[in-house]
Amino acid sequence: MTLITLGAGEREAPVKKRNFTWTLSLPAVVLLAVVCVVPLVVLFALSFVEGGQPTLAHYTRILTSPAYLTILQTTFALSVGVMVLAVLLGYPLCYFIVNLPEKWRPLALALVSLPLWTSILVRTFAWQILLQRRGVINSVLMDLGVIQQPLQLAFTIWGAMLGMLHIVLPLFVLPVYVAMTQINRRLLQAALSLGASNTRVFWTVFAPLTVPGVAAGMLIVFIYALGFYITPEILGGGKVITVSMKVAENATMYSEWGAASSLGAVLLIVAGLAIGLSSKIGKLLSSGGRK
């Protein structure tokens, strides 16, 4: 047996041999298993059934029917679009907060978190007000003389995207901010001391180090956006149909469990692929420079 000297401050065993602490989690586990997992497993099984017969019909319909394909496209496009916008707007915002004097940061973070604490309905409603023909944006723009006729903002995919962006932005900013704060200041100072300009330091040292955090933020936003339901439905006014909306429709209006669950499964698969892809890429990139 190897005799090795432990570092200063010996550690003792964290857990006794027969540790039953994990059983404390059983009530919660049972609840989640029964309410969440079991029904989904059953529904997944049902996705392979139509009219009492095992079949792949649901899945083939999804992949071939033009209606479904449009829905998948829309959802995917919206999710990617929102994700890209979140990065473009969220990154500067994070950088801004990180460079604020210490005493202003809690306020800035609170201003980012406040929308998160607000109900998604309230936020969606806010955009409804803003985007309507006689809504705030149009009123202001017309008052300022910028436009003569009110713009059609509501009930379009752009209105929906705007609302979705608003909801998703804090979800991106918070983890990326945390990642930025964990970058070792000394590295930046070292680069500056070696003669690099601020801009160069930003692009060659800081930005690359934020990549893992940004990737994580993008993943969070993308997966959240895949599942968007309320906001695109209300702001899109029937012109925007996402996968979630179709799933709901199939389940509630038609009680088509097979159709609903197969769509749901596709959604989960896409989300799973995104997670897998993201972690593969993450492993390829090195992550040095952490404190």
Partner 1 sequence: MSALALKLHVKRTWLYIVGILLLLFLNLPILVIVPMSFSDATFLQFPPQSWSLRWYEAFFGSQEWLASAWISLQAAIWTVVVAVPLGTLAAYAIDRTENVIGKAVRGLLMSPSIVPIVIVAIGIYFLLAQFRLNNTLVGLVLAHTVLAMPFVIIAITAGLANFDVTIERAARSLGAGPVRTFLTITVPNLRGSIATASLLAFLTSMDEVVVALFISSGPQSTLPRRMYASMRDQVDPTIAAISTMLIAVVLILVTVMSVLGSRNKKSTTEN
Partner 2 sequence: MSATATFETAIPAARSSALSPRGMTVEVKGLAKSFSKLTVLDHVDLSIGSGEFVTLLGPSGSGKTTLLMALAGFTDPDAGHISLGHRDVTHVPPERRNIGMVFQSYALFPHMTVADNVAYPLRARRVGRAEIEKRVKDALDRVQMGAYADRRPDKLSGGQRQRIALARALVFEPGLLLMDEPLSALDKSLREQMQIEIRALQQRLGITTVSVTHDQREALTMADRIAILHNGRIAQYGTSRDVFERPVNGFVASFMGDAVLVPVQQAGNGLTAGGAVLVNAPMVSGGTNFLVVRADSATLATDPIAGATNLPGTIVTSSYQGSETLHSVALETGQEVFIRERNQGSEPSVRAHQRVFVSIDVSQTLVVPE
Contact flag: residue 238 with partner 2 (CB under 8 A):
no
Whole-number Å distance between alpha carbons of 76 and 241: 11
Taking CB under 8 A as the binding criterion, the range among 15-23, 109-117, 198-206, 248-256 that sits at the site for partner 2 is 15-23
Give the list of residues 6+ apart from residue 165 with CB closer than 8 angstroms, or none. Answer: 82, 85, 86, 89
Of these partners, partner 1, partner 2, none, which one is at the site of residue 4 (CB under 5 to 8 Å by kind)?
partner 2
Residue 108 has a CB neighbour count (10 Å cut-off) of: 16
Task: Tell which positions 236-255 bind partner 1, by CB under 8 A.
Answer: 243-244, 247-248, 251-252
Contact 220, 275 (CB under 8 A): no
Task: Tell which positions 17-76 bind partner 2, by CB under 8 A.
Answer: 17-18
Whole-number Å distance between alpha carbons of 195 and 204: 13
Q: Would strands 53-54 and 49-50 be described as parallel, antiparallel, or unpaired?
A: antiparallel
Of these partners, partner 2, partner 1, none, which one is at the site of residue 89 (CB under 5 to 8 Å by kind)?
partner 1
Task: Tell which positions 18-57 bind partner 1, by CB under 8 A.
Answer: 19, 21-25, 27-29, 31-40, 42-43
Shortest distance in whole angstroms from residue 3 CB to partner 1: 24
Q: What is the dihedral of CA 144, 148, 154, 156, to 10 degrees?
A: -120
Among 164, 217, 260, 262, binds partner 1 (CB under 8 A): 260
Of these partners, partner 1, partner 2, none, which one is at the site of residue 222 (CB under 5 to 8 Å by kind)?
none
Give the footprint of partner 2 on this chain (CB under 8 A).
1-13, 16-18
